[in-house]
Amino acid sequence: MGTVLLGTSGWDYPEWVGRVYPPHGVRDRLRYYATRFTTVEVNSTFYRLPPVAVAESWARRTPSGFRFAAKFPQTITHDRRLVGTAEEMRRFLAVLQPLRTAGKFAAALLQLPPSLKFEPGTVRAFYESLPADLPVAVEFREPSWLDPASFDLLREFHLAYTIVDEPMLPIQLETTAPFAYVRWHGHGREVWYDYTYSADELAAWVPRVQQLADRVPEVYGFFNNHFRGDAALNAETLRVRLGVGPPPWAPRLG
């Protein structure tokens, strides 16, 4: 079975103090987070790219086996809508480079806007602009992207289909790249990710994740339901149910 790496979407949440982080807090939340998880998804790059020095510090503060995923900036996906993105792409790749150099990069997450429909020509042109050696996971947010032609493009360019658990799209265990990428958003009534996964819901994901791990060498999974620290607790519960141990470096850092 392939390697399964589970984590959360982000780590710097004040409400996690007392439930995920110690009640008195910690000086370095990322370092503490890395004692419990093997991977994390960086959300902040979607809103604003940090200085390259910040990414360098992420690499320094985490163990050698730790992996980062990072969202494409919204200027690429939502503002320019995949067209004319060369300058934004250059800046994004510069931020990713320290993580790639350190061997700590998992994938870049291309989270598409829900208002963007699938248009084969535009999508092909954008995929062609991506560096061939950059691992990318594409998250659909609009049903027209579930067209077979869209999946064919993912396979052609070796990009991963992002498997989502959310109210708007079905769960599809598609593998279109050398790795699998899963995101648990939740099913909250007003806000999707204001949600706590039940034990039964997590148990239902065990055979799904195992099926993915039978197909590809690596499966990355991230819980986005960060309210109250639920993402961290749900991720750890699923890890245990899958029989995956804690990070091998945890005793040393802890």
What pLDDT, on a 0 to 100 scale, did the predictor assign at position 1?
Answer: 85
In this predicted model, what pLDDT tens digit does every residue of 28-47 receive, in sequence order?
999 999 999 999 999 999 99
What pLDDT, on a 0 to 100 scale, did the predictor assign at position 194?
Answer: 96
What Rg do the C-alpha atoms of the chain give, in angstroms?
A: 17
In this predicted model, what pLDDT tens digit does every residue of 222-248 receive, in sequence order?
999 999 999 999 999 999 999 999 999
Q: Is pLDDT above 70 for 161?
A: yes
Share of the chain above pLDDT 70, in %: 98
What pLDDT, on a 0 to 100 scale, did the predictor assign at position 36?
Answer: 95
Q: Is pLDDT above 90 for 159?
A: yes
Domain coordinates in residue numbering, the chain = 3-253
What pLDDT, on a 0 to 100 scale, did the predictor assign at position 92?
Answer: 98
Among 97-106, 155-164, 185-194, whose mean pLDDT is lowest?
Answer: 185-194
Q: Is pLDDT above 90 for 254?
A: no
Multiple choice CATH, 3-253, 2.30.40.10, 3.90.1150.10, 3.20.20.410, 3.40.50.1820: 3.20.20.410
pTM: 0.96
Q: Is pLDDT above 70 for 252?
A: no
Q: Average the pLDDT over 172-199 and give the result.
A: 96
How far is 95 from 93, CA to CA, in rounded Å? Answer: 5
pLDDT band at 253 (very low <50, low <70, confident <90, very high): very low
What pLDDT, on a 0 to 100 scale, did the predictor assign at position 231?
Answer: 98
In this predicted model, what pLDDT tens digit does every residue of 124-154 receive, in sequence order?
999 999 999 999 999 999 999 999 999 999 9
Report the sign of the C-alpha dihedral through residues 146, 152, 157, 162, in that order: positive
In this predicted model, what pLDDT tens digit does every residue of 76-106 receive, in sequence order?
999 999 999 999 999 999 999 999 999 999 9
DSSP 61: T
Report the sign of the C-alpha dihedral through residues 51, 90, 141, 202, in that order: negative
Mean pLDDT of the chain, nearest integer = 96
